[in-house]
């Protein structure tokens, strides 16, 4: 969540790179955070940003 706080436009690929994990795993983590209503996505997939709820 610190990465999202620092850069709301961060992508799954960038999260994966910074955490040294696969992109697939990073996207699973993001999906779980969304499911648990800890973060939400605003805007388009290309130009959107993450918001911590």
Two tokens at 43?
A: 């805007």
CA nearest 33: which of 24, 44, 41, 23?
41
pLDDT tens, position by position, 10-52:
999 999 999 999 999 999 999 999 999 999 999 998 889 999 9
Q: Which domains does the chain show, CATH number per domain?
A: 2-52 (1.10.10)
Residues, the chain: 53
What is the pTM assigned to this prediction? 0.86
Tell me whether residue 22 is exposed, middle or buried, using C-beta atoms within 10 angstroms of its C-beta: 0 to 12, 13 to 18, 19 or more: exposed
CB 25 within 8 A of CB 16: yes
């Amino acid at each position: 969540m610190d990465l999202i706080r620092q850069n709301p436009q961060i992508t799954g690929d960038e999260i994966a790179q910074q955490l040294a994990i696969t992109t697939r795993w990073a996207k699973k983590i993001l999906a779980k955070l969304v499911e648990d209503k800890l973060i939400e996505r605003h805007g388009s997939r290309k130009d959107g940003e993450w918001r911590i709820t």
